[in-house]
Amino acid sequence: MAGDGVPPVMSDSPYGLAAVEKEIARACKDAGRERSSVTLVAVSKTFDAADIVPVIAAGQRVFGENRVQEAKAKWPALMQQHPGLSLHLIGPLQSNKAKEAVALFDAIHSVDRASLCEALAKEIDRQGRSPQLFVQLNTGEEPQKAGIAPGDADAFIKSCRDVYGLTISGLMCIPPVDEPPAPHFALTAKIAARNGLKLLSMGMSADFEAAIQLGATHVRVGSAIFGKR
């Protein structure tokens, strides 16, 4: 329909999305999984509406942001113009932003300490809104990285449930950049399984196929869709 008054595409992001979709479909097929078992979270951090709108127009509905303030500035208008979007927080959350996060996001992938659990429980109760929650693991036990150490995971998940009354749906991990990711994905899957958690947020632009092979239900893909940040 080119030439029928359709505005020119000003962004490469729809092509990135199509390429990523194709790779996800292939990875699902290779792993013997249904395409519908993997949610693509398109990570739009640092990109503005001009880059995001074409991706929505191409059919993408689930987006990820790593900062509450940035998401608050960009997404309420987009969500009003495009009903049916789902927004995920994939970056660290300060307890004093729990109120805004519970109001804005449909999922939070970065639950990683007791004080945050307490703040989230309070806001979920107060707002009557329950974003899906993932506990973030620090599988590489990297000092600069957020997340629960694998050895503390079972106890932390139990306290989320028993002490704070939170429903935890899954686990999230970010493997160390300088290591093969597969062992980290496998460890995350194992800890999820023994805690009865069904969702696995793992895999980014460089490694989402390996993550799908190892059971990822949510892949968080930014640069492969939107380009370099």
Ligand X SMILES: *Cc1c(COP(=O)(O)O)cnc(C)c1O
Residues that bind ligand X (CB under 6 A): 43, 45, 66, 90-91, 174, 204-206, 220-224
- Please count the helices (runs of H) and the strands (runs of E) in the chain: 9, 8
State in angstroms the smallest separation of the CB of 8 from ligand X.
26
State in angstroms the smallest separation of the CB of 207 from ligand X.
9
Close Cβ partners of 145 (under 8 Å, ≥ 6 residues apart): 138, 174
How far is Cα 130 from Cα 211, in angstroms, rounded to an integer?
26
Report which secondary-structure segment, H or E, holds 136: strand 132-137
> Of 38, 62, 68, nearest to 203 (Cα)?
38
State in angstroms the smallest separation of the CB of 87 from ligand X.
14
User: Which burial class, exposed, middle or buried, applies to 23 when counting CB atoms under 10 A from its CB (0-12, 13-18, 19+)?
Assistant: middle
Token pair in block for residue 93: 């959350």
State in angstroms the smallest separation of the CB of 61 from ligand X.
17
Q: How far apart are the first and last CA of the chain?
A: 32
In the bound state with ligand X, the residue whose beta carbon lies nearer, of 54 and 203, is 203
Q: What's 6's DSSP letter?
A: P
State in angstroms the smallest separation of the CB of 16 from ligand X.
10
Structural contact between residues 215 and 187, judged by C-beta atoms closer than 8 angstroms: no
In the bound state with ligand X, the residue whose beta carbon lies nearer, of 43 and 117, is 43
In the bound state with ligand X, the residue whose beta carbon lies nearer, of 45 and 122, is 45
> Of 31, 44, 123, nearest to 86 (Cα)?
44
State in angstroms the smallest separation of the CB of 223 from ligand X.
3
In the bound state with ligand X, the residue whose beta carbon lies nearer, of 90 and 192, is 90
In the bound state with ligand X, the residue whose beta carbon lies nearer, of 165 and 180, is 180
